[in-house]
Structure 1
């Protein structure tokens, strides 16, 4: 883990029903893009990025945001930092090692229906253009 994240709370947004102590590991079908096998697990030091993760995750389960701790090294998420937001203002990261669930954010405010619809339209347009939402 990088020094800049040692004292930060880290989050993972999903629809999976997990408990404290569970591991979130790569190797499963991704929630995003073409839904291929994920080589990384994604996390963020901002609640905002985790909210997007939960809201855009595939599936029918309840949107959840977990507090997580990496079990190995993490790196900046190049899907956001290099392509969209230089300098990593979203504080988005990824790892090839599991994340351990240490808690859940019980109360959080999701995006408006309009903002969520606009994001989904944007992602569909990228898909139509053959641009993968997550480049692993």
Structure 2
């Protein structure tokens, strides 16, 4: 995880989902995953529109795909599920955090 004063990426950051989220609300870890029937220890987000769209497309459910502008409220790290395992480096600029994400806006 990054330290609070270490800048891994300046964003802006996005979260793709089919869930309806409230601006001003927070996404928390340890809730059911967007993709599997299990609790997730992390909240996942990205700094690229393409990766956010991909996340929304892959999310479970029949709802409308949505992309939200989010702000990490704590430390975060490269998503190891994509970084180096699938794509050398982090070209998708995909991250995860155990700290909440603030929902800033829904992109239209």
Per the normalisation by structure 1, the TM-score is 0.72
The alignment's C-alpha RMSD in Å is 1.2
Runs of 4+ deviating beyond 3 Å = none
CA distance in 2: counterparts of 1:102 and 1:37, whole angstroms: 24
Residue in 2 that maps onto 1:15:
18
Deviation string, structure 1 residues 45-92 (Cα, Å, up to 9, x no partner) = 000000000011001221100000001101000000020112100000
RCO greater where, 1 or 2, for CA within 8 Å and sep 6 or more? 2
Instruction: Kindly tell me the number of residue pairs found equivalent between the two proteins.
Output: 104
Query: Out of 85, 97, 100, which is 1:98 matched to?
Result: 100
Where structure 2 has 5 or more consecutive residues not aligned to the other structure, the ranges are: none
Query: Out of 68, 71, 86, which is 2:70 matched to?
Result: 68
Deviation for aligned residue 1:4: 3.8
User: Is the strand fraction higher in 1 or 2?
Assistant: 2
CA distance in 2: counterparts of 1:22 and 1:59, whole angstroms: 21
Equivalent pair of 2:8/2:77 in contact (CA under 8 Å): no
CA distance in 2: counterparts of 1:99 and 1:82, whole angstroms: 24
Where structure 1 has 5 or more consecutive residues not aligned to the other structure, the ranges are: 107-136
Per the normalisation by structure 2, the TM-score is 0.90
User: Is the helix fraction higher in 1 or 2?
Assistant: 1
